[in-house]
Structure 1
Amino acid sequence: MLIIGIAGGTGSGKTTVVHQIMNELPDAEVGVISQDSYYKKNSHLSYEERSHINFDHPRAIDFDLLVAHLKDLKLGNVVEQPVYSFVTHDRTDDIILTHPRKVMIVEGILILTNPELREMFDIKVYVHADSDERLIRRLKRDIAERGRDMNEVVNRYQNTLKPMHDQFIEPTKNFADIIIPNDNYNTVAIEVVRAVIKQRIH
């Protein structure tokens, strides 16, 4: 099994890159795991307490479970990927049955911060985007999809997202094998990743 890690700051366009890479690959042979599914379970906290968790810090992620699931998939086992709700700031009771594939793509802002997880990636990709661009994307997404208001998103960006990005996420660019600029000129980088995957599949 080929495991590809795709990291980058919030709103950098990781999901778009994942879709671009998967575009010409057979569905049955490529699977995706999102780091966002692996935020720790916080049912013991009140909603108020959960809403103040720093979700951009590596300790918010259940890396042990994510690593265990990848190891299981490598052994050919089906895993139960958790489902996380950004509305309630907690895991739901739902699961996603995830089957082993020839290629597994793991995407998320913090995936390259964890040494054990990093070791499991055959290819490490970092998607780079301008910080203004990322803020605008984050604003649009959080207001449209996560029921946040503009002040909340801007405050969170200034007080949490930007400092966490500078401290934890940006430095992981140094671990990347490929850095993909998130603009119209990233086609060559996408093609390189796709070519490696096709080679492994065949």
Structure 2
Amino acid sequence: MSEIDKPYVIGIAGSSGSGKTFFLKSFLDHFSEDEITLISQDDYYIPANTKTKEENRLYNFDLPTSIDRATFYKHISDLFEGRTVFKEEYTFNNPDLKPKMLEIKPAHILVVEGLFIFHYEEINQLLDYRIFLDADEPIALRRRLKRDLVERGYDEEDVMYKWINHVVPSYNEYLLPHKEECDLVIRNNVDDPLVIQTFTNDIAKELRKRIG
């Protein structure tokens, strides 16, 4: 891709437990690797693995300052200019997971996802289309518990502490105010993959017209 041939940029953000991961997978499956690429804010956390377990429990990962914002923006800019980005995967301080080296290649469609992508003004202004995923709090919390207890090995006390003190306040301050400016808002309260797949099918059809 040349510097003149800018990608079509889709920003996807959602509350924790909104089903964003499944939405992204379903959406990306509509395209080949040459047509679409994904860059995720979650891979730009400032490392906190030097902290003790108690410090990690209290540390707020749900603040804009927990992200290496400058590098995140630089890598998005690199993709705009047709350069491939190499970035080590972030493994959420799980010692059982060996981080992979991510190779993010430029493509006609660029998906930028993360909690703060609308809050970061320099990134928000690059977006052509904004998608907001949401779910009622009890449903979102149930999904968060399942993910963090099973997939990330956290204990329930830690998960609940972060949910009450970090996750919900951050969502209310840094994401929810941008809901009304988004092009598409998806309320995902049912665990039915067909609901999400219907949305991704429709969006993919429209994008097909753009990339020919």
Query: Under TM normalisation by the shorter chain, which class is it?
Result: 0.7 to 0.9
**4+ residue runs over 6 A deviation:** none
Structure 2's unaligned 5+ residue stretches are 1-6
Alpha-carbon distance in 1 for matches of 2:100, 2:198 = 38
Q: Percent identity?
A: 31
Cα distance per residue 1:119-171 (max 9 Å; x no partner): 11111110111111110011000001111111211121111111111121211
SS of 2:10's equivalent? strand
Alpha-carbon distance in 1 for matches of 2:59, 2:149 = 19
Letter in 2 for 1:193: I
Cα distance per residue 1:75-121 (max 9 Å; x no partner): 111111232121259xx875312111111111112211111100111
Alpha-carbon distance in 2 for matches of 1:24, 1:95 = 24
Letter in 2 for 1:197: L
Match of 2:162 among 156, 159, 171: 156
Residues 177-196 of structure 1 correspond to what in structure 2 (within 5 A)? 177-182=183-188, 183=190, 185-186=195-196, 189-196=199-206
Alpha-carbon distance in 1 for matches of 2:161, 2:149 = 13
Alpha-carbon distance in 1 for matches of 2:68, 2:206 = 29
CA contact (8 A) 1:47 1:88 kept: no
Alpha-carbon distance in 1 for matches of 2:185, 2:208 = 19
CA contact (8 A) 1:87 1:147 kept: no
CA contact (8 A) 1:83 1:94 kept: yes
Alpha-carbon distance in 2 for matches of 1:87, 1:41 = 8
SS of 1:111's equivalent? coil
Distance 1:25 1:39, change over 3 A: same
CA RMSD in angstroms, aligned pairs only: 2.2
Structure 2 residue 91 is the aligned partner of structure 1 residue 85: yes
More strand by share: 1
Match of 1:11 in 2: 17
Structure 2 residue 209 is the aligned partner of structure 1 residue 199: yes
Alpha-carbon distance in 2 for matches of 1:69, 1:200 = 24
Q: How many residues align?
A: 199
**Bigger mean CA deviation after superposition, 145-154 or 80-89:** 80-89
Letter in 1 for 2:60: N
Alpha-carbon distance in 2 for matches of 1:77, 1:155 = 41
Alpha-carbon distance in 2 for matches of 1:10, 1:93 = 22
Match of 1:22 in 2: 28
**Bigger mean CA deviation after superposition, 128-137 or 50-59:** 50-59
Distance 1:99 1:187, change over 3 A: closer
Structure 1's unaligned 5+ residue stretches are none
Match of 2:109 among 98, 103, 119: 103
TM-score (norm 1): 0.88
